[in-house]
Amino acid sequence: MHSKKRHGILAAAAGLAVSLVLGAVALAAGDGGWIDPAGTNAGPNTLTVQACGDNVEAAFAEDLATSDVVVDLYKIGTATKNPTYDIYDYALTEDFSGLTLTSNMTSEQWQALADAAAEKVTLTSSGTLAAGDSISGLDDGLYLILAHGRDRVESGYTSRSAQYEYTFDPSLVVLPNKAAIDGQIGTAVEYGPWLTEVEVALKPERSPLYGALRITKDLSKNTGEDATFVFHIVDTETGGEKYDNYASVTMENGATVGDVTVGHIPAGMQVTVTEIYGAARYDWGPVKVGEKGDIIIAEDTIEFFCHNEPTGDRTYGGHGVQNNFKFDTEAAEEHGDWVFNPTPDKQSPAQSNDREE
């Protein structure tokens, strides 16, 4: 089935972590399967699935909302009110009857059951409902929630915005459910009546996405000597506080076209490329290669082009530039960052001899 990363858990029933106390569990077969939003549902329960809870930063929630999260909902177990106690007895449906369901399961065992159930089903392109929507008419039972991006079934339980990838865990929720006390869900009498209107909140984790840019330099004519052209790349929002890097293109052996690709740039970032050195004998600027700035696209490469004309009026050399910016994968909270390593001052032979003495 679909590959998935293990991140986050479902916050279930009134937006909190679900903790179930099961009665006498019988692993009997019953009706179940994918909940078709266009199907005929006549049960008493309504379920609302939020993409995230209220405990996340506003910027996180706003970006997640652009990733088009949908939910596939599967009924994997029936629920029958116990005639003696204020509990429900649960039984896995036929398609899931080979899985493990026992009384007094731990949260880790519930997650294991959700993962195992997810391996038995197939994601749909548009899901049962979009995150934030509700579906009514659901029977009492145990339900599997699989969140993913719309039309991203081959990518497993992930959704994407322009800048981030969000990853969800398969999750379970029981209908009906009870309210919470001090942030905890229970099934005892003190937790109040069983609720048929249940809201759950997903808890995705996210990771940044990156893209690249390619700078292509072309000359109308090569003067016959190797020439190096240097470009300064900065983010347009802060003018280099978030991203500041240098790249160079060297023309060798009479070449008139060359390029360089710069990778690991945060996706969604708008960058401007400026040529800051154009080698001897070429009219170079400075030239804004990306005058208005261009948006870096996740796992893609955007193009910048720059043209130079020879002037013939420069006689000094101009080849060989060192890029002192190196990418440090250990920096910036384990996401990496560009670090400037200064070049030692150049010294004349006389200065060097003086120091040795």
pLDDT in tens, 32-59: 699 998 877 789 999 999 999 998 999 9
Do 201 and 261 belong together in one domain?
no
Pairing of the two strands 210-219 and 301-310 = parallel
- Residue written as tokens 């060097």? 352
- What does residue 113 show for φ and ψ, rounded to 5 degrees? -65, -40
Q: What is the pLDDT of residue 56?
A: 94
Residue 301 lies inside a defined structural domain of this protein: yes
Lowest mean pLDDT among 4-8, 171-175, 187-191: 4-8
Do 191 and 267 belong together in one domain?
no
Boundaries of domain holding 81: 33-208
Counting the structural domains of the chain, the total is 2
Q: Identify the burial level of 65 via C-beta atoms within 10 angstroms of its C-beta, where 0-12 means exposed, 13-18 middle and 19 or more buried.
A: middle
Do 242 and 204 belong together in one domain?
no
Q: Is the dihedral of CA 145, 150, 156, 157 positive or negative?
A: negative
Residue 12 lies inside a defined structural domain of this protein: no
Q: What is the pLDDT of residue 187?
A: 65
- More confident of the two residues 328 and 236: 236
Residue 347 lies inside a defined structural domain of this protein: no
Q: Ramachandran region of residue 320, left (φ > 0), alpha (ψ -120 to 50) or beta?
A: left
- More confident of the two residues 104 and 212: 212
Residues 282, 31: Cα–Cα separation, whole Å? 77
Do 188 and 333 belong together in one domain?
no
| Predicted structure pTM score | 0.75
Do 138 and 185 belong together in one domain?
yes
The residue-averaged pLDDT of 168-175 equals: 95
- Assign 309 a pLDDT band (cuts: 50, 70, 90): confident
**Percentages (nearest 5) of helix, strand, coil residues in the chain:** 10, 40, 50
**pLDDT at 168 > cutoff 50:** yes
Residue 349 lies inside a defined structural domain of this protein: no
Q: What is the pLDDT of residue 9?
A: 29
Among residues 222, 311, 206, 299, which one has the least CA distance to residue 258?
222
Give the domain-ending residue among 208, 234, 267: 208
CA dihedral 64, 167, 119, 150 (to 10 degrees): 30
Do 313 and 251 belong together in one domain?
yes
Do 155 and 282 belong together in one domain?
no
Residue 27 lies inside a defined structural domain of this protein: no
Residue 254 lies inside a defined structural domain of this protein: yes
- More confident of the two residues 19 and 156: 156
Give the domain-ending residue among 159, 185, 208: 208
> At 72, which CATH number?
2.60.40
- Assign 253 a pLDDT band (cuts: 50, 70, 90): confident
Alpha helices in the chain (DSSP H): 58-65, 107-118, 349-356
> At 218, which CATH number?
2.60.40.10
Do 280 and 177 belong together in one domain?
no
Q: Ramachandran region of residue 281, left (φ > 0), alpha (ψ -120 to 50) or beta?
A: left
Q: What is the pLDDT of residue 214?
A: 94
- Residue written as tokens 């699989």? 146
Do 178 and 238 belong together in one domain?
no
Tokens for 19?
Answer: 């903790």
Do 105 and 240 belong together in one domain?
no
Give the domain-ending residue among 165, 191, 208: 208
**pLDDT at 121 > cutoff 90:** yes
Residue 350 lies inside a defined structural domain of this protein: no
- Assign 290 a pLDDT band (cuts: 50, 70, 90): low
Q: What is the DSSP string of 12-35?
A: BTTTB-------S--------EE-
Do 228 and 335 belong together in one domain?
yes
Residue 306 lies inside a defined structural domain of this protein: yes
pLDDT in tens, 207-226: 999 999 999 988 888 777 78
Do 184 and 296 belong together in one domain?
no
